[in-house]
Amino acid sequence: MHHKARKRFGQHFLTDPMIIDRIVSAMHLAASDTVIEIGPGLGALTLPLLQQLNQLTVIEIDRDLIARLRSFAPTDRLTLVQADVLKVDVANLITQYPCKIVGNLPYNISTPLLFHLLQTASHIDGMWFMLQHEVAQRLAASPNQAAYGRLSIMAQYHCQIHYLFHVPPQAFHPPPKVDSAVVWLQPHTKLPHIANDYAHLNQLVTAAFSQRRKTIRNALKNYVPEHTFSQLAIDPTVRPAELSLAQYVKLSNHLGCPL
Protein backbone atom coordinates (compact mmCIF):
# COMPACT_ATOMS: atom_id res chain seq x y z
CA MET A 1 0.00 0.00 0.00
CA HIS A 2 1.51 3.32 -1.09
CA HIS A 3 1.00 6.26 1.23
CA LYS A 4 1.99 9.80 0.34
CA ALA A 5 3.40 11.71 3.34
CA ARG A 6 1.05 14.47 4.45
CA LYS A 7 2.63 17.81 5.25
CA ARG A 8 -0.26 18.85 7.53
CA PHE A 9 0.56 15.91 9.82
CA GLY A 10 4.31 16.60 9.66
CA GLN A 11 4.92 13.12 8.24
CA HIS A 12 8.50 12.00 7.63
CA PHE A 13 8.65 8.22 7.75
CA LEU A 14 11.67 6.58 9.34
CA THR A 15 13.17 4.01 6.94
CA ASP A 16 16.74 3.33 8.11
CA PRO A 17 16.84 -0.19 9.66
CA MET A 18 19.99 0.56 11.68
CA ILE A 19 18.38 3.59 13.32
CA ILE A 20 15.22 1.61 14.02
CA ASP A 21 17.28 -1.17 15.64
CA ARG A 22 19.18 1.33 17.79
CA ILE A 23 15.94 2.87 19.10
CA VAL A 24 14.38 -0.49 19.97
CA SER A 25 17.63 -1.70 21.57
CA ALA A 26 17.85 1.47 23.69
CA MET A 27 14.46 0.67 25.26
CA HIS A 28 15.65 -2.64 26.84
CA LEU A 29 12.21 -4.19 26.38
CA ALA A 30 10.65 -7.08 28.24
CA ALA A 31 7.74 -8.91 26.60
CA SER A 32 5.39 -7.87 29.39
CA ASP A 33 6.20 -4.12 29.16
CA THR A 34 3.38 -1.66 28.61
CA VAL A 35 4.42 0.40 25.57
CA ILE A 36 2.68 3.25 23.74
CA GLU A 37 3.95 4.31 20.32
CA ILE A 38 3.12 7.82 19.10
CA GLY A 39 2.85 8.43 15.36
CA PRO A 40 3.62 4.92 14.08
CA GLY A 41 3.23 6.04 10.47
CA LEU A 42 3.98 3.13 8.13
CA GLY A 43 4.96 0.90 11.05
CA ALA A 44 8.76 0.97 10.77
CA LEU A 45 9.05 0.86 14.57
CA THR A 46 5.75 -0.89 15.19
CA LEU A 47 6.74 -4.25 13.69
CA PRO A 48 10.06 -4.57 15.58
CA LEU A 49 8.25 -3.57 18.79
CA LEU A 50 5.58 -6.22 18.24
CA GLN A 51 8.32 -8.83 17.78
CA GLN A 52 9.43 -8.17 21.36
CA LEU A 53 6.15 -7.33 23.11
CA ASN A 54 3.01 -9.20 24.09
CA GLN A 55 0.92 -6.10 23.47
CA LEU A 56 1.38 -2.61 21.99
CA THR A 57 -0.79 0.52 21.88
CA VAL A 58 -0.29 3.06 19.08
CA ILE A 59 -1.70 6.57 18.64
CA GLU A 60 -2.05 7.73 15.03
CA ILE A 61 -4.00 10.71 13.68
CA ASP A 62 -4.08 9.59 10.02
CA ARG A 63 -7.05 7.24 9.51
CA ASP A 64 -5.56 5.86 6.28
CA LEU A 65 -2.52 4.67 8.21
CA ILE A 66 -4.73 3.15 10.91
CA ALA A 67 -6.23 0.90 8.21
CA ARG A 68 -2.74 -0.22 7.19
CA LEU A 69 -1.61 -0.84 10.78
CA ARG A 70 -4.65 -3.04 11.44
CA SER A 71 -3.03 -5.80 9.38
CA PHE A 72 0.08 -5.91 11.58
CA ALA A 73 -1.31 -7.94 14.50
CA PRO A 74 -4.56 -9.17 16.11
CA THR A 75 -6.50 -6.61 18.17
CA ASP A 76 -5.55 -8.36 21.43
CA ARG A 77 -1.89 -7.58 20.65
CA LEU A 78 -2.19 -4.21 18.91
CA THR A 79 -4.50 -1.49 20.20
CA LEU A 80 -5.08 1.31 17.68
CA VAL A 81 -6.08 4.78 18.86
CA GLN A 82 -6.99 7.08 15.97
CA ALA A 83 -6.67 10.54 17.51
CA ASP A 84 -4.68 13.74 17.78
CA VAL A 85 -2.17 12.83 20.50
CA LEU A 86 -2.35 16.38 21.89
CA LYS A 87 -5.96 15.64 22.83
CA VAL A 88 -5.31 12.18 24.31
CA ASP A 89 -5.11 11.64 28.06
CA VAL A 90 -2.14 9.30 27.89
CA ALA A 91 -2.50 8.33 31.56
CA ASN A 92 -5.85 6.68 30.72
CA LEU A 93 -4.15 4.40 28.17
CA ILE A 94 -1.66 3.04 30.70
CA THR A 95 -2.96 -0.33 31.86
CA GLN A 96 -0.01 -1.35 34.01
CA TYR A 97 3.37 -0.08 35.12
CA PRO A 98 6.04 0.58 34.14
CA CYS A 99 4.94 2.26 30.91
CA LYS A 100 7.30 3.17 28.10
CA ILE A 101 6.52 5.66 25.36
CA VAL A 102 8.30 5.81 22.01
CA GLY A 103 7.78 7.73 18.82
CA ASN A 104 9.06 9.60 15.81
CA LEU A 105 7.31 12.80 16.88
CA PRO A 106 5.85 15.13 14.23
CA TYR A 107 8.26 18.07 14.26
CA ASN A 108 5.49 20.64 13.82
CA ILE A 109 3.98 19.72 17.22
CA SER A 110 6.95 18.27 19.10
CA THR A 111 7.37 21.04 21.70
CA PRO A 112 3.68 21.30 22.76
CA LEU A 113 3.53 17.49 22.68
CA LEU A 114 6.51 17.21 25.03
CA PHE A 115 4.85 19.60 27.49
CA HIS A 116 1.65 17.56 27.19
CA LEU A 117 3.45 14.28 27.93
CA LEU A 118 5.53 15.70 30.79
CA GLN A 119 2.29 16.11 32.75
CA THR A 120 2.10 12.30 32.78
CA ALA A 121 5.79 11.77 33.68
CA SER A 122 5.00 10.25 37.08
CA HIS A 123 3.15 7.39 35.30
CA ILE A 124 5.98 6.71 32.84
CA ASP A 125 9.13 4.60 33.10
CA GLY A 126 10.83 6.19 30.11
CA MET A 127 10.26 8.05 26.83
CA TRP A 128 12.35 7.53 23.69
CA PHE A 129 11.71 10.12 21.00
CA MET A 130 12.98 11.06 17.57
CA LEU A 131 13.04 14.85 17.50
CA GLN A 132 14.37 17.72 15.50
CA HIS A 133 18.04 18.02 16.52
CA GLU A 134 17.50 21.58 17.75
CA VAL A 135 14.69 20.45 20.08
CA ALA A 136 16.85 17.60 21.40
CA GLN A 137 19.59 20.12 22.17
CA ARG A 138 17.13 22.35 24.00
CA LEU A 139 15.91 19.44 26.12
CA ALA A 140 19.41 18.49 27.21
CA ALA A 141 20.89 22.01 27.57
CA SER A 142 22.48 23.31 30.77
CA PRO A 143 22.53 26.89 32.13
CA ASN A 144 24.66 29.32 30.09
CA GLN A 145 24.22 27.31 26.89
CA ALA A 146 22.48 28.98 23.93
CA ALA A 147 19.85 26.21 23.70
CA TYR A 148 18.93 26.46 27.40
CA GLY A 149 15.42 27.77 28.01
CA ARG A 150 11.92 27.03 29.23
CA LEU A 151 11.79 23.58 27.60
CA SER A 152 15.13 22.61 29.20
CA ILE A 153 14.00 23.63 32.68
CA MET A 154 10.50 22.16 32.61
CA ALA A 155 11.65 18.88 31.04
CA GLN A 156 14.53 18.54 33.50
CA TYR A 157 12.16 19.23 36.38
CA HIS A 158 10.44 15.91 35.54
CA CYS A 159 13.18 13.90 33.82
CA GLN A 160 16.83 13.20 33.38
CA ILE A 161 17.57 13.88 29.71
CA HIS A 162 19.89 11.60 27.74
CA TYR A 163 20.90 12.67 24.23
CA LEU A 164 21.41 9.27 22.56
CA PHE A 165 22.43 9.83 18.93
CA HIS A 166 22.21 12.02 15.84
CA VAL A 167 20.03 11.00 12.87
CA PRO A 168 20.62 12.41 9.36
CA PRO A 169 17.77 13.48 7.02
CA GLN A 170 18.53 10.49 4.74
CA ALA A 171 17.09 8.14 7.39
CA PHE A 172 13.57 9.33 6.45
CA HIS A 173 11.22 9.43 3.50
CA PRO A 174 10.67 12.14 2.55
CA PRO A 175 13.89 13.52 4.13
CA PRO A 176 13.23 16.52 6.39
CA LYS A 177 15.17 19.74 5.86
CA VAL A 178 16.70 19.46 9.35
CA ASP A 179 18.85 16.98 11.24
CA SER A 180 17.23 14.82 13.90
CA ALA A 181 18.25 13.12 17.13
CA VAL A 182 16.98 10.43 19.48
CA VAL A 183 16.63 11.32 23.15
CA TRP A 184 15.70 9.32 26.22
CA LEU A 185 13.65 11.10 28.86
CA GLN A 186 14.00 9.21 32.12
CA PRO A 187 11.47 10.43 34.72
CA HIS A 188 12.98 11.04 38.15
CA THR A 189 12.04 8.40 40.72
CA LYS A 190 12.19 11.29 43.19
CA LEU A 191 12.04 14.91 42.05
CA PRO A 192 15.39 16.59 42.82
CA HIS A 193 13.68 19.97 43.25
CA ILE A 194 10.04 20.18 44.28
CA ALA A 195 7.90 23.20 43.38
CA ASN A 196 5.15 24.02 45.85
CA ASP A 197 3.04 25.15 42.88
CA TYR A 198 4.11 23.66 39.53
CA ALA A 199 1.84 25.99 37.51
CA HIS A 200 3.45 28.98 39.25
CA LEU A 201 6.94 27.70 38.42
CA ASN A 202 5.92 27.28 34.77
CA GLN A 203 4.53 30.82 34.66
CA LEU A 204 7.67 32.25 36.26
CA VAL A 205 10.01 30.47 33.83
CA THR A 206 7.83 31.46 30.86
CA ALA A 207 7.93 35.10 31.95
CA ALA A 208 11.71 35.04 32.42
CA PHE A 209 12.47 33.53 29.00
CA SER A 210 10.01 35.73 27.15
CA GLN A 211 12.69 38.42 27.70
CA ARG A 212 15.79 36.25 27.83
CA ARG A 213 18.19 39.02 26.72
CA LYS A 214 17.34 41.17 29.73
CA THR A 215 18.73 40.77 33.23
CA ILE A 216 16.63 38.53 35.47
CA ARG A 217 15.76 41.63 37.53
CA ASN A 218 14.28 43.38 34.49
CA ALA A 219 12.74 40.27 32.92
CA LEU A 220 10.80 39.58 36.13
CA LYS A 221 10.37 43.16 37.39
CA ASN A 222 6.57 42.85 37.30
CA TYR A 223 6.64 39.64 39.36
CA VAL A 224 9.62 39.62 41.71
CA PRO A 225 10.40 42.38 44.27
CA GLU A 226 13.99 43.63 44.04
CA HIS A 227 14.89 42.53 47.57
CA THR A 228 13.89 38.91 46.83
CA PHE A 229 17.01 38.30 44.75
CA SER A 230 19.37 39.24 47.57
CA GLN A 231 17.30 37.20 50.04
CA LEU A 232 17.81 34.12 47.87
CA ALA A 233 21.45 34.91 46.97
CA ILE A 234 20.57 35.31 43.27
CA ASP A 235 22.55 37.88 41.30
CA PRO A 236 19.85 40.16 39.78
CA THR A 237 22.16 41.19 36.92
CA VAL A 238 22.44 37.73 35.35
CA ARG A 239 20.37 36.70 32.32
CA PRO A 240 17.47 34.20 32.65
CA ALA A 241 19.59 31.51 30.96
CA GLU A 242 22.18 31.72 33.76
CA LEU A 243 19.79 30.50 36.47
CA SER A 244 19.51 26.79 37.22
CA LEU A 245 16.36 24.75 37.67
CA ALA A 246 17.05 24.72 41.42
CA GLN A 247 17.16 28.53 41.50
CA TYR A 248 13.88 28.89 39.59
CA VAL A 249 12.18 26.43 41.95
CA LYS A 250 13.62 28.33 44.94
CA LEU A 251 12.36 31.62 43.52
CA SER A 252 8.90 30.22 42.78
CA ASN A 253 8.56 28.64 46.23
CA HIS A 254 9.64 31.87 47.90
CA LEU A 255 7.07 33.95 46.01
CA GLY A 256 4.42 31.29 46.64
CA CYS A 257 1.50 32.87 44.80
CA PRO A 258 0.15 32.99 41.22
CA LEU A 259 1.77 35.57 38.94
pLDDT one-digit tens code per residue, 183-194? 999 999 999 999
The DSSP secondary-structure symbol of 183 reads E
pLDDT of residue 8: 43
Question: Residue 173's pLDDT band (boundaries 50, 70, 90)?
Answer: confident
Query: DSSP letters of 63-84?
Result: HHHHHHHTTSS-TTTEEEEES-
Question: Residue 5's pLDDT band (boundaries 50, 70, 90)?
Answer: very low
Indicate the CATH number for domain 198-255: 1.10.8.100
Instruction: Using the CB atoms, write b or e for 192-229: b if 16+ within 10 Å.
Output: ebebeebebbbebbebbbeeeeebbbebbeebbeeebb
198-217 pLDDT tens trace: 999 999 999 999 999 999 99
Query: What average pLDDT does this structure show over 172-195?
Result: 94
31-75 pLDDT tens trace: 999 999 999 989 999 999 999 999 999 999 988 889 889 999 898
pLDDT of residue 11: 55
Residue 248, pLDDT > 60, answer yes
pLDDT of residue 1: 41
Short-list 48, 42, 249, 56, CA closest to 158: 249
The domain over range 7-187 is classified in CATH as 3.20.20.105:
no
Question: Residue 27's pLDDT band (boundaries 50, 70, 90)?
Answer: very high
pLDDT of residue 257: 58
pLDDT of residue 181: 97
Q: For residue 13, list its beta bridge partners.
A: 173
Residue 89, pLDDT > 70, answer yes
pLDDT of residue 202: 95
Q: Return the domain boundaries, the chain.
A: 7-187, 198-255
pLDDT of residue 2: 47
Question: Residue 108's pLDDT band (boundaries 50, 70, 90)?
Answer: confident
Query: To which H or E segment does residue 36 belong?
Result: strand 34-38
Q: Who wins on pLDDT, 107 or 161?
A: 161
Residue 76, pLDDT > 80, answer yes
Short-list 213, 209, 198, CA closest to 249: 198
Query: To which H or E segment does residue 90 belong?
Result: helix 90-93
Domains 7-187 and 198-255 in one fold: no
